[in-house]
Amino acid sequence: MKGALLVAGCTSDAGKSVVVAGLCRLLARRGVAVAPFKAQNMSNNSVVTLDGGEIGRAQALQAHACGLEPSVRFNPVLLKPGSDRRSQLVVRGKAVDTVGAADYFRHRTALRAVVADELAALRADFDVVICEGAGSPAEINLRETDLANMGLARAADLPVLVVGDIDRGGVLAHLFGTLAILEPADQALIAAFVINKFRGDVGLLEPGLRQLRELTHRPVLGVLPYAEQLWIDAEDSLGTVADAPVGRPAAPRGSEWLTVAAIRLPRISNSTDVEALACEPGVSVRWVTEPSRLAGADLVVLPGSKSTVTDLEWLRRTGIADALVDRAGRGGPIFGVCGGYQMLGRCIEDEVESGRGSVPGLGLLDLDIRFATPKVLSRVAGTAGPIPVQGYEIHHGRIVGSGDAPLLRCDDGSPEGSSRGPVSGTHWHGLLECDDFRRAFLVSAAEQSGRAGFMVAPDTSFAAVRDGQLDLLADLVEQHLDMDAVRDLIEHGAPRGLPTCTVGSA
C-alpha cells in the first residue's frame, strides 16, 4: 500500500482524530509503515516531542498508534488560543508569534510552504500518511488561508473522507451541506463519507444512506458505533464540559470512592492531565466551574492554562479562589499543574503572556514566578522519593523563589515542584501518568481527606489503558469501515469525474 488520505469532519469533535488514530493503528497492525499528519491544529492540549518541539496531543496519540515517537513533522503548525482573538503561533514545534485572524494572513505563504515540505517528506519516508483536517472544510470564509482541509487536499491531490457525528443530530444534512457548499474543484476530491457515534439499529439508517448517495454520488463507507469507552486524549476543550464526568471509572476496590474536582479554567491547557486519575477504580473526576462544587471533593486539581493571569482573575471573580484558600486552611488537598501550580504561589510577574506585570497569586505556596522567553520545552525525568517519574514541560514561567519542600528531584538533582501540607504542585505535565507516583499520590490524598475506606488499585496501567483504547479504535474501524474501499482511495486517489453537488440538486 502506498499513498495518502485526508480525514475531514463536518464539525469540530466530529471524530476526525479518533478515525485517524484508528486507521493508523489498524494499518500499523497490518505491517504498513504509516504516519499521521495534521498540517495545522488549534489546541491547547500539546506535548513535547523527542526533537524538542511542541505538537497537538492528538497527533502524539496518533503517532503512538503508528508505533512512532511524537515529532514536529506530524503537526508542523499549531495555534494555541490565549484569548478569543489571539493565538500563539507554533511552527515546527517553536513559538514564533502571537497572531489574530487578520495578521495571520502575513504568515500564510510561508506556512503553506512548511506544510507542503513536511507532507512531501513524510510521504517519501512512509508507505501511507493519514492526514487529519481541522474544524470543517465547509468554513468557506477561511478557504483562502486554509492549510489543513481542502487547501491541503488540493495542493497534494488527496482523496478526502468526511466524518459526521450522528450523535449531534442532523448528520445527513451535515454531510450533504459540507459537500454542496464547496466549490467544484474542492468537491472533486471529496470521495466518501463516514458516520460516527451511531447508537441503535443501522437498518433504520439505510434509507437515508441510499438517498445521500443518490444526491451526492458518494458512498458512506462505514457507520462507526458509539463507544463510551473512548475518552482518553480529547483533542480540544469540547471534551471538558462543566459538571461532566471524566471517563468511566470502575467500582472502588475498597468501601469508599475518592472524588476529584478538576477546575475547568476558561483557557485550560493540557486538560488531559487528569485523565490518568479517572482511569483508577473508585476515583470519580468531574470538571467544575463554581465554588460549591469544591465543597464535597476529596481532592481538587488546578490544571494548566494558556492565559495564567487571566484565568487567575477568573478564579477570583467566580469565588473559586476564596474556596481554594479556605480549603487549604482546613487541610483539604489541592494539586496544581503548570499554570495551575503557578497560580498557587505568592506572585506572578508577567510581561510576556498578559503584559500585566506583577500579580499576586493565591499565596498557598511559597513560590514566586517570572515569565520569560523562550518558552521552556523539555522532556524530563527524576524521582519522587524512591519512585522514578517522568513527564514534560511547556511554560514561560520560571521559578525565581521557592521556600517549600520540593515535590520531586530531577535526574540532575535539582528540585522540581512544591509541597506544603495539603497543597502541592509541579510544572511537569504527564506526571500523573506514572503509575507508582499516581498510586502514592492518591493514597496520600485519601488520608488527608479522611477516606479510610478508599483502596488504590495495585495494577492500573495508564499506558495499557491508552493502548487498549487504540486497539478498540482499530477494531471498530476494521469491523465497520469498508477497508478495501479505503485502501483503493489511498492508492489511487478520489475517483475522477465525480459530479458536482449543489443545494438545488436536492
Domain of 213?
A: 3-231+466-505
Same domain assignment for residues 9 and 120: yes
Tell me, yes or no, whether 344 and 397 share the same domain.
Answer: yes
Gap between the Cα atoms of 489 and 152, Å rounded = 16
Nearest 5°: phi and psi at 183?
-70, 155
Q: Please, which pLDDT band fits residue 75 given cuts at 50, 70 and 90?
A: very high
Dihedral sign, Cα of residue 363, residue 364, residue 370, residue 375? negative
Residue 9, pLDDT > 90, answer yes
Which one of 415, 435, 456 terminates a domain?
Answer: 456
pLDDT value of residue 229? 84
pLDDT at residue number 236: 52
Q: Residues 475, 426: one domain? A: no
Q: In the predicted model, is pLDDT for residue 300 greater than 70?
A: yes
Percent of the chain with pLDDT over 70: 98
- Whether residue 397 lies inside any domain: the answer is yes
Long-range Cβ pairs for the range 329-332 (8 Å, 24+)? 331/421, 331/422, 331/448, 332/297, 332/298, 332/300, 332/422, 332/448, 332/449
For residue 248, tell me if it sits in a domain.
Answer: no
> What's this model's pTM, rounded to 2 decimal places?
0.94
Q: Is residue 151 located within the same domain as residue 210? A: yes
Question: Per the domain annotation, does 167 fall within a domain?
Answer: yes
Asked if residue 478 and residue 431 are part of one domain, the reply reads no
Judge if 219 and 321 occupy the same domain. Answer: no
Q: Judge if 41 and 103 occupy the same domain.
A: yes
Which pLDDT tens digit goes with each residue over 197-206?
Answer: 999 899 999 9
- Please tell me the predicted confidence (pLDDT) of residue 226: 93
Q: Which residues of 461-477 are buried (b: 16+ CB within 10 A; e: fewer)?
A: ebeebbeebbebbbebb
Mean pLDDT of the chain: 94
> Residue 113 belongs to what H/E stretch?
helix 108-125
The per-residue pLDDT for range 374-419, each reduced to its tens digit, is 999 999 999 999 999 999 999 999 999 999 999 999 999 999 999 9
Assess whether pLDDT exceeds 90 at residue 324: yes
In this structure, are 312 and 185 located in the same domain?
A: no
In the prediction, which pLDDT does 168 show? 87
- Residue 83: which pLDDT band, with cuts at 50, 70 and 90? confident
- 45 located within any domain: yes
- The CATH code of the domain that includes 52 is 3.40.50.300
**Which residue in this structure is represented by grid cell 500500500?**
1
Per-residue pLDDT of 446-477, as tens digits, reads 999 999 999 999 999 999 999 999 999 999 99
Is the pLDDT confidence value at 105 over 90?
no
Report the distance separating Cα 80 and Cα 41, nearest Å.
Answer: 9
Pick from 122, 118, 186, 121: nearest CA to 151? 186
Helix (H, G, I), strand (E, B) or coil at 348: strand
Q: What is the pLDDT of residue 100?
A: 86
User: How many helical (H) and strand (E) elements, i.e. helices and strands, does the chain have?
Assistant: 14, 26
Range name among 90-99, 303-312, 331-340, 497-506 with the lowest pLDDT average: 497-506
**Residue from 237, 292, 233 nearest 261 by CA:** 292
Same domain assignment for residues 398 and 306: yes
The angle formed by the CA atoms of residues 62, 13 and 258, to the nearest 5 degrees, is 80
Query: How far apart (Å, rounded) are the C-alpha atoms in residues 386 and 330?
Result: 29
Are residues 142 and 266 located together in one domain of the fold? no
Burial 261-271 (b: 16+ CB within 10 A, else e): bbbbbbbbbbb
Percentage of the chain exceeding pLDDT 90: 88
Euclidean distance between CA atoms 23 and 25, whole angstroms: 5
Residue 241 is assigned to a structural domain of this protein: no
Q: Please tell me whether residues 323 and 375 are part of one structural domain.
A: yes
Q: Give how many domains the chain has, as a whole number.
A: 2
Q: What is the CATH number of the domain that holds 392?
A: 3.40.50.880
Q: So which residues are the catalytic ones?
A: 338, 429
Q: Is residue 244 part of a domain?
A: no
Helix (H) or strand (E) holding 18: helix 16-29
Please compute the mean of the pLDDT values over residues 86-114 and round it to a whole number: 89
Residue 34 maps to a domain: yes
Average pLDDT of the residues in 91-96? 94
> For residue 328, is it within any domain?
yes
Same domain, 91 and 220: yes
Residues 6 or more apart in contact with residue 326 via CB below 8 angstroms: none
